[in-house]
Amino acid sequence: MTDGTKRVLVTLALVGVCVVWGGTFVMVKDAVSTYPLYGFLGWRFAIAVVAFLALFPGTFRRFAPGTVKVGALAGVFLIAGYVFQTWGLQDTTASKAAFITGMFVVITPAMQAIVLRRPPRATTVAGVALAVVGLWLLSGASADGWTAGDTRVLLCAIAYSAHMIVLGGPGRKHDARALTLVQLGVTALACAAVSLVFERPYVWPTSSVWVALVVTGVLASAVAFAVQTYAQRILSPAKTALVLIMEPVFGGLFGWLAGDALGVRGVAGSALILSGMLVAEFLGGRGGSGEHVQLEPSLEGPSVAVIESDAETAVE
């Protein structure tokens, strides 16, 4: 197999990952309409842990001192993200949820500028401005306008941003596979515990819910991570991120096929959010003087440009 053929196949595999991620918005929305939220997440991530260990059986050998602590911290924000997103899907459309979730690509550099007390970069301001205008247009895309579900999904995007900052900070010192396994395990245990205590009586998943659990747990988590890991050896980080940024596009497409109606205003808002993501991802991915930009892979979604000073990189 030639290098060119290999790159094409890997690119198609990444597109397949985006298709799966986009499709999960509709699947999860349907599943949690009939099944308890925390029970669904508990099962989803328990399945993801098993699938992840099957694909990466040597992960435990990659643990280092502090891996569990950092992974658990990242897992807290991951739990918040998935809980708010899944809860939000109960009161908003899959299409809107897909694009609002994608705003974490824009929120991350803005949040990092606040946390590190650095003046925001022009590209960050431009990306945020485009995304906020897009969000305003998208919020009026339906008869209900901005809903409680939209607010929850936006909180999901903020939690995902905090998650990315942890991975781009203390997480840089630890193996990505080991950190991912800890995050999956922490999320599975926490959600299962909440479900066992508060979601009674226990309900066994139906066949349709099991389909959603397998797709989200195996394909959207474990297999998607494996594809991204392999793709990083073949494609540049920028090209990988460019493909993965298509996730909200597929989410919007599947939502439309399921009956969501965005209208002209909603489509325009979605396009502006996507534009803001592109600006933050690629123009924001150019390091300035004394800066180093690292594209941090997300567990589910596009990679995110995390800015570091060269001094910080040298210390590591």
Residue 284 confidence (pLDDT): 61
Q: What angle do CA 135, 23, 99 make, to 5 degrees?
A: 10
114 is written with which tokens? 């606040």
Q: Count of CB atoms within 10 A of residue 65's CB?
A: 8
| Cβ-count burial 34-51 (b if 16+ within 10 Å, e if not) | ebbbbbbbbbbbbbbbeb
311: pLDDT strictly greater than 50: no
- Between residues 124 and 93, which one has the greater pLDDT? 93
The span from the CA of 5 to the CA of 13, in Å, is 12
Residue 57 confidence (pLDDT): 93
Residue 188 confidence (pLDDT): 96
Grade residue 117 by pLDDT with cuts at 50, 70 and 90: confident
126 is written with which tokens? 């431009």
E-strand spans in the chain? Answer: 291-296, 304-309
pTM score > 0.95 for this model? no
**Dihedral angle computed from the Cα positions of residues 277, 279, 280 and 283, in that order, rounded to the nearest 10 degrees:** 150
pLDDT tens for 82-100 read 999 999 999 999 999 999 9
pLDDT tens for 215-261 read 999 999 999 888 888 887 788 766 777 788 889 999 989 998 888 87
2 is written with which tokens? 């030639």
Grade residue 194 by pLDDT with cuts at 50, 70 and 90: very high
pLDDT tens for 53-85 read 999 999 999 999 999 999 999 999 999 999 999
- Between residues 243 and 178, which one has the greater pLDDT? 178
Closest CA to 37 of 75, 72, 84, 99: 84
